[in-house]
Structures are given as C-alpha cells and as structure tokens.
Structure 1
C-alpha cells in the first residue's frame, strides 16, 4: 500500500483569498490519493475568537467583533466563489452556531471548556472554505471533522491524546476514503469520550499532523510556513538568521521545548517514535528544499536563539527558615500541574524556588491563592525569556543591553536569561 502523506497549512498560508489560491497551486501537481491536508484557522481568527470570549466574560457587547469576523470570511469567499455557491449558507450556519455558543454562560470555572467549544469554529470554518475551493478547482477532496478522528481526555485547552482510540478511529474512517480521495481536516481540535470539543494547546495544528501521521503510519509530514525552513532564530526578532538544511529529532525537540515557534512542541515525539521524516517548507517558495527533520541528521554547532514574551517570574520562599526540600518542590509542581502551567525555567536556592511560566488568564491568581499559606511569594509580569542553545561561541552582552536581568542560568549547552526592558523613564 502506498504510504499516506500529511500536509499541514497554518493560518498565515490561508489568511486571504490570494493565499488560498496559492495553496491550490501548491497542491495542483502534488495532490494525490492517500494525502491528508491539515488546515488551521484563517489568519488571526483564533485571536479574534479569544477576544469574543473575553468580551462575553466581561458582559460586554461582542456583536460588532463577531460581525467583523463573519464579514472577513464572507468577503474572502466572495473573491473565491460565485455568489450562488453553497459555501455562503454553510458559513452563515456555522456563525449562527458560534453565536449560540457565545450566548451560554462563561465564567472562570467553565472557561477552558467554553474556550474549546468556541475556538474550534475557526478550524471548522476554514476547512469548509478550503475543501470547497479545491473542489471548485478540480482538485477533488473530502472534508472530515477531526473531532471524529482524534480522541482525547477532557483536559480542556490542553487535552491529552488517547493514542489507541485515535489510531483505530483514524484508520477506520480515513483508510477507505484515502484509497479514492485526499482528505481535508482541521488542526488543533479533537473530542473527548462524551463528544465535547477539545483542543490540543495553542498552535496545535502541527501536533494534529503528527498524530494522524503516527496513526496512519505515514511516509512523511510537511509543514508549510512563511519561512524558508527551520531557522536558528525568529527573523522578525533577530537579524542574520541561518536555515538548517537538516535537523535531528533531538535537536528539533529541544528547540521546540524552549519555545521555538516554527513547530509545536509535541510534534516531534510521535514522528521520532515511528521514524517519520518531517519537512518544513515555504508556501512562498514551494520548490525550495526547506528543512528535513529526521533521525540521521548530522550534528552541528550553529547557535539557536529563542525568545518567549509575556513571561512571569515567581519566587516561592519558605517562611520558617528551613531549606528548600523535595516536598516543597513537589507541592509547587503539583499546583502548576493542576493548573496546566508548564515551567519554562527553574532555579533553586537554599530557601527559595523560582519558576518562569507563561502569562495565562486566571492562572496566576489561582496559583497564588493555593500556595500563599505555605510560602512568601513574589512575582514579576511582562518579562521575556531568552534561551540560547549551542552558546559556546556567543557573546551574551548585546542580548542583555538595555534590559534588567532578573534571572540567569547557564549549562553546557544552554544559556537562559529572564529580562525586562528598561523604559526611557528608568534610563533617565
């Protein structure tokens, strides 16, 4: 049997009508049976849906923002389809469903579940548009709801994959279809055992591609990006970036763990376990070589620079003058785990534990409340976490100039610094 190929297209690759046309051109000579196209929400749709949720929670009028989001998709369709095409009532129907979901009560206690139910509409809308457009161009595909394929836990916003059920569902549903047609499905979303929508973590469409690749024993995965491949730094932040022609699974996993945004952190493991190569290519220059991530890539010493913004530094200090022990660390980590907060950096002293985490809605308040009786707690928000891998030949000073350095840590291969931009007033 011919092995399945997975293509993943992110939001930037389908952000407007011209981008959708470009996607079709990429596929024109590449599309074939036993291919799955995983597609994200269009442009900044997920951000817009998150804004709608916040407005609803604050009891503010969200109708204008919802209308803007609907019009964005309708106007995009008007450039792609004739006025009497069936895509228009389908999009209207999806927005009616979205508005119905927004009318339900949303509060901190049900925020995560409500988030998954509402944000899922971004992918459902985009894939309907992509599937219909490809068919209109003679590129026949079948639309598939990813929630019927990917089974997860009920850990809303950070759902854990039930690999056995997902494999069975994917093979049972997809294999008969893929023998005849390519399939278009959504990234980022799944469902729990009760059929409720779940999501796999922000930017989780890459992970969806890896899940389906593993479940279908695919031959390869290709992620289409707006960069020429995996770079050693984000070109929007750092100058003089270099492209990796090849990367090993371990190096790629390390980069994603520390926050490199080109690939979702969970993507590498299922591919490495099956020895499935991952290609990162540019949808702006589809014939270029891109980057190949696989198990036989040579080692290199090119430094990688990763910057995470909107970080919080929290220091937990014991109040009874005892030294920090394993029990203290476990206590803190248990609370972080319960709140689904990942530690981006950890540092211990004799009487304190310092952690760096992402700034997520409601989470800091809950963490402080749960631990305030056992620790003296201090925190700083609005920080940046700079990580440099393979740092031996790197001069750190230029990356710290103009910043307050709150925390620093160096190992054989990794340099990390928590920094805060010094304002003009502070300079004076």
Structure 2
C-alpha cells in the first residue's frame, strides 16, 4: 500500500463522469491520485452515461419494461469496469452493485406511482454511490489504500430537493469529527452532488453539484489545493469546438474564472469557486486523459492581467422587456417587477434600463424542456406593464481585466462584429466582463471573429 501521508499538504481531487467512465479511465485517475501523496480525498461523479439514465428513470412516464432496460444498462456500464479487477473483488463489488440496483428499482417503481422531487433526488444519487465504491477498489488494485466514504455523513443540507443548500457549519464540524482523522491513514473516495437533510433523506445540490461538493469539502478540511480533473486540458480562451484557434490558459484569477463560469464556460461551475475564494484555496483544472499536459491554475493573484482573457458563450437565453409609462419619474415599479420574479424563483442575469422600459435576461438551463418564463409569469407581469418575450438568443461575454477603464474596448469589440445585430449590451457593472446578446444563429460566428481579433 502507498505510505501514510508524509506531508501536511492536503489536496481534494475531483474526477468527472468521463474520467470514471470505464476501467481504463478509472485506472488513469487512480495513477494520478497515486502520483501525489497530498491527494487524500477523492470526489467522483457518476460514470459517464449513468446520470442520463437516472434522469430518465426519475421521470413519470416510464414503463416497467423501460425501467428494467435502463437499470440493466447502468449495471452493464459498472460491471464492465469491475470485470477487470480480481475475481474476489469483482464478485464482492458486483453484489454491492446489485444491492444498490435493487434499491434503485424500488425507487423507480415508487416514482412511477407517485412522482416527487424527494424520490427524484434518491434516484439521481445512485450514480455517485456506484462509481465511488468501484473507484475505491481500483485504487486498491494499484496498491493505494483507498476506502469508500459516504459523503452523506458530513454533507448536511436543507430539504430543498434538486438544489439543496449545504449547512456549511455542520459540514465543517462533521468533517473534523468523521473525515479528517481517516485521511491520515487512508485515501478516501466519496461522492459529489449528493447530501442529506436532517430527516435522513437524500438531497442533491443541483447543476455543477459535484465540483461544488469537492470545493466545500476542501474548505471544510482546510485543504491546500483543489484539483478538478475532466476531459480537457484546462480552461481555454474560448470553446475549442467553436474555433481551433482557442488555446489553454496557464493561470487565471478567481475573479476572471468566476466570470467565465458564470457566463457559459462549462468547464467549471461558478458555485465551485465560492468556497475556494472564501479560503483562498488554489484550484487546478486539468485533463485526466493527459495529465502530463498540465492545466490551468486558478488563484487569487496571477502574474499576468491581460485586457482580454477569454470569450464565453451561453446559449438558450430569454430576453424579457417590460415597458410602462408609469415608470417615468416614478418609484417602486422595479420593486414590483422583481418581487413578482422572486415569487416564481426567477433569477435575472443582465439588466438594462431606459426611461420607461427595462430589459432583463434569463438563462434557460441546458436540457430544460420549457422556458423559465411561463405563460403564468407573463400574465402576471402584464398586470403591471407591457411585456415582450424573445427566445433563441445567446449571450457572449468578453472576459478580462480593467474593461471599464481600458480605452477602445468597445470599439475593438463592436467594430469586429459591425455586421451582426446586437440585441442588448451590458457593460460597466464589472471590471472583468463586457456582455451582449446576439441571435443564436450568429453566436458561433461572433465568438470566432472576436477571438481572431482579440487573441490572434
């Protein structure tokens, strides 16, 4: 077995779904863990493909036959990994997998009879519970003292199923009591994305929850580093799928990374950075497929602060414009609008105003089946003012430093895309970004042209 940690340094390593997709992927990750003695806590996502199956299983209109097929597909993904381990370990693990899948079957049947968000969370949590058990054994197969740890012992949340809020104080106390002592002797493998409320019910932390879980654990354990291992070599100047001119960024500040994550860079969820920023824990983002290529360091202070750092793109944006002559020289109108939006738990991204109108943007979560701005919301807004709703828009964010003070920023950007219709511009609220809306059909071209002008 690998030696007991010989350094006081503690790194929390998070591996995403593609990083634990199959045996070879898990083996690469296990060797990453083994290569650095400071890697003491490993947080894993569900194996690639499993969460999609679980999402389908959590829906109402799933027949018993489809449920069985889905569960068999999940089992196939997992046993294709365990078959590469020794016969004794494989048999033991497969029994654990079957026990978990039996419990999953019961949850799926319950959901089909009476849908609830509580059962949805219970179903979605199975992916991480499966992958973490397997990964602990893969670590042991290469002589690392890996051990499974149920994160629900420490990750205590409220009961807001689907987007539970973590009790930071309780997490810190439980980590000190239950987790920290074991890390001196073992590499612990635990789950991202899931928690438990005070009733003992499973909760999930929502989109980006696995990375966020890892960051919260790093904070609670007073960790020295957080490593996010994914399938790309760090954070890029823009999405490499849009332009092959995109290049990896060696280092980036917390502020810049937060802006990038907020405005569409999918490599990192914005919530991940909040705990790291609170405790000044450096974050590393790299590829588990190519660890030798290095990655991106995210930290409080960086050596370079260029005017332009990256271009982020967020699709599926909705623009709502509310207009009322009553706004002119009147107070309280915006308060009424935002009170109504708050009632429907709607979060505004960008806002611009004129004398009698306000334009607001909303982000539709990727994969959502309907717009956040429902007919009910529109009808209630129309009791206050005229309302127009536009879909099919994309938000482009130019991320950098000193953008509110640097001369010629707007000119450089908008002269480059002077043949594109820009629907809304938001500039001045942040020193780190300039944002604007364009039609979805123009989005890739806009990013490509801007990247060529600002970076090449």
TM-score w.r.t. the length of structure 2 is: 0.82
CA gap 1:210/1:46 in 2 versus in 1, 3 angstroms: same
Q: 1:49-60 alignment to 2 at 5 Å?
A: 49-54=54-59, 56-57=60-61
CA gap 1:145/1:399 in 2 versus in 1, 3 angstroms: farther
**Partner residue of 1:16 out of 14, 22, 38:** 22
Instruction: Please give the alpha-carbon distance, in whole angstroms, between the structure 2 residues aligned to 1:173 and 1:45.
Output: 29
**Partner residue of 1:62 out of 55, 58, 66:** 66
Instruction: Please give the alpha-carbon distance, in whole angstroms, between the structure 2 residues aligned to 1:40 and 1:400.
Output: 43
Give unmatched runs, 5+ long, in structure 1. 424-428
1:265 CA displacement? 0.5
Determine which structure has the larger helix proportion and give its number: 2
Match of 2:387 in 1: 377
SS at match of 1:160: coil
Match of 1:222 in 2: 227
Match of 2:306 in 1: 300
1:177 CA displacement? 0.9
**2:161 maps to 1:156:** yes
Match of 2:448 in 1: none
Q: 1:31-180 alignment to 2 at 5 Å?
A: 31=37, 35-54=40-59, 56-57=60-61, 62-63=66-67, 64-80=69-85, 82=87, 84-105=90-111, 112-180=117-185
**2:383 maps to 1:364:** no
Cα offsets for 1:75-105 (capped at 9, x unmatched): 3333455385211121112122222112224
Instruction: Please give the alpha-carbon distance, in whole angstroms, between the structure 2 residues aligned to 1:61 and 1:406.
Output: 48
- Segment drifting more, 370-379 vs 247-256: 370-379
- Segment drifting more, 37-46 vs 392-401: 392-401
1:208 CA displacement? 1.1
Instruction: Please give the alpha-carbon distance, in whole angstroms, between the structure 2 residues aligned to 1:97 and 1:324.
Output: 61
1:159 CA displacement? 1.9
Q: 1:318-397 alignment to 2 at 5 Å?
A: 318=324, 321-323=326-328, 327-359=332-364, 360-361=368-369, 363-365=372-374, 367-368=377-378, 370-390=380-400, 392=409, 394-396=412-414
Match of 1:414 in 2: 433
1:413 CA displacement? 5.1
1:144 CA displacement? 1.1
Conserved in 2, the CA contact under 8 Å of 1:400 and 1:419? no
**2:246 maps to 1:241:** yes
Instruction: Please give the alpha-carbon distance, in whole angstroms, between the structure 2 residues aligned to 1:219 and 1:301.
Output: 29
Match of 1:426 in 2: none
SS at match of 2:308: coil
Conserved in 2, the CA contact under 8 Å of 1:17 and 1:79? yes
Q: How many residues align?
A: 418
1:136 CA displacement? 2.9
TM-score w.r.t. the length of structure 1 is: 0.87
Instruction: Please give the alpha-carbon distance, in whole angstroms, between the structure 2 residues aligned to 1:114 and 1:212.
Output: 25
Instruction: Please give the alpha-carbon distance, in whole angstroms, between the structure 2 residues aligned to 1:40 and 1:394.
Output: 41
Give unmatched runs, 5+ long, in structure 2. 1-6, 404-408, 443-456
